[in-house]
Structures are given as C-alpha cells and as structure tokens.
Structure 1
Amino acid sequence: MLPTQSSVIDVREIAPRERHTLIFGRFDALLPGEALQLVNDHDPQPLHHQFQARSAGAFKWAYLQQGPDLWRVLISKTEPAAAREDSCCSGGACGG
C-alpha cells in the first residue's frame, strides 16, 4: 500500500536556515501512513542522516527523481517500532 501524500515542500523557495525546521515540523504532523514530498536542487543526504538520527524506524525515504538538477524524495511516516504489535516486547516477551 502506498502512503497518502499530504504535501509537497519545494525547499528551493525557502531560506536555507528555515528548511530543516519546516520539514521536521511537517513530518511530525503526519499520521502513520501519510507522506510528504521534498523537492530540492541537490541531493538531500544531510537531511536523510538527520532523519536517521532523529526518527530511526519511523520513516521511509524513497527517491522519486535523482538529479542532476532536481531531486524529489517521498518521506513517509511509518508506525513507530514501539507501537507495533508484532514487536518482540508485545505480550511481555522482553523479560525484565
């Protein structure tokens, strides 16, 4: 099942110092299964690394277009691992 796309953020039109705050704010407002599309003039790898550090296991990153002049990335919000019923801790299986 594909995520529901809720918004497109074209960061080419946004001041660099405001970009990541805006993107993370929009991502945080998404429900699991929703997504946003990022449009940029360069590969947003630094942002991807920030997502991995900040939201590991709670997002998917999929390139829709990869340069050379335009990048489009679909960033989908997934169910957090702790909330999944199929996690190792459901039913008290983690011990402790």
Structure 2
Amino acid sequence: MSEFAAVVKAPDYPPQLKHKVIFETFDGLDAGQAMLLINDHDPKPLYFQFQATRSELFTWDYVEQGPELFQVKIGKKS
C-alpha cells in the first residue's frame, strides 16, 4: 500500500486551479492520511495558506527540496 492516499502533480493544472485542487484533495483525506504534492518550485506560499486556513489540521514535510523538483508530504492530523 502506498504511503500516500493521493498524489497531486501541480504543474499538470492551470494556475487558477492548482490551489483549489490541492485543498480539495487535502479536504478529502481521512484523518491520519497523507497526500504527496509534486511541484516545479518551492510551494512555500501554499504552506502559508495552509497555516492561515487549516493550521491545526495539517503536517508539512519536504520529501525533496529542489532545485528542479519539490515534493511535499501533506498529512491530515488525527
């Protein structure tokens, strides 16, 4: 079984949909599950958006930190 309940490859989506898809995917996770975000740049602004809207609900762990590929494990706390 995969460590991730879902994978979002952000570059596959148009800019206006990226954050919507990421948040919808996260919101669909069960407590204790995690998703993998794959991006072509550091998604730090997204981290701050998670902090502002879901601060007690998520974990954020870099799996890979560039320079060309960024992968972040975003977990939903139990």
Per the normalisation by structure 2, the TM-score is 0.94
Instruction: Determine which structure has greater relative contact order: mean sequence separation of CA pairs < 8 Å that are 6+ residues apart, divided by chain length.
Output: 2
CA distance in structure 1 between the partners assigned to 2:55 and 2:11 by the alignment = 26
Runs of 4+ that moved beyond 2 A = none
Gaps in structure 2 of 5+ consecutive residues: none
Which segments of 5 or more consecutive residues in structure 1 lack a partner in the other structure? 80-96
Larger Rg: 1
Letter in 1 for 2:62: Y
Task: Give the secondary-structure state (helix, strand or coil) at the position aligned to 1:31.
Answer: coil
TM-score (structure 1 length as normaliser): 0.77
Q: CA-atom RMSD, angstroms?
A: 0.8
Among the aligned pairs, what percent are the same residue? 42
Find the aligned partners of 1:7 and 1:28 in 2 and give their Cα distance. Answer: 11
